Amino acid sequence: MQVPDLLTPSVVEPMLRGRLGRPHLHVARCASTQLLLASNAPEGALATADEQWAGRGRLGRKWHAPRGTSLLCSTVLRPAVEAARLPELSLVAGRACAEAIASVTGLEPQLKFPNDVLIGGRKASGILAEATEGRVVLGIGVNVNVPAEELPTDVALPATSLLVETAAPVSRALLLVTLLECLEHHYDAWVRRARS
């Protein structure tokens, strides 16, 4: 059975295997999924887009994503832990993202501290965690079905995509639900450790 590539709630929500990912707002195009989640959005709220024109990474770096080729998502976390621990969520999300990519594709991603996921030394994913007033908006971008000729070249770290690495299209929906499942597992374990 072919898994759909759409990121709409009607496709994604029936596939969810945990508590993260609801409610889910999807737009075709936005400045950044980080800006779509209201300040009162509950933990697990998810925003996705097919294209963003002002996506960014750490230190204000741009995140390039041709329409419909990448996984662009943000989710709200509200961990009841000391604020000083919140920066650790970038690593938690990085581990979850690497695990999800490995699960869906069979590739062996590596983490590059503090917030990049690499495949063969090339960047496939980036994480941006922004904390304010007891909540963290965790943004994740993954180059999924970006053809080699559309990958950015004006970047410090060479880029790649799952399509380039596997020579086959990858379902963004399947990757998203796997990512949310892995994130929930790693996040819950991190919260338990942070409270002990």
Question: pLDDT per residue over 12-41, tens digit each?
Answer: 999 999 999 999 999 999 989 999 999 999
Domain boundaries, the chain: 9-195
Is domain 9-195 annotated with CATH 1.10.10.10?
no
What is the reported pTM? 0.93
Output the pLDDT for position 133: 80
Structure tokens at 160: 């790649």
Q: Spell out a b/e string for 48-86, using b for 16 or more CB atoms within 10 Å of the CB, else e.
A: bbbbbeebbbeeeeebbbeeebbbbbbbbbebebeeeeb
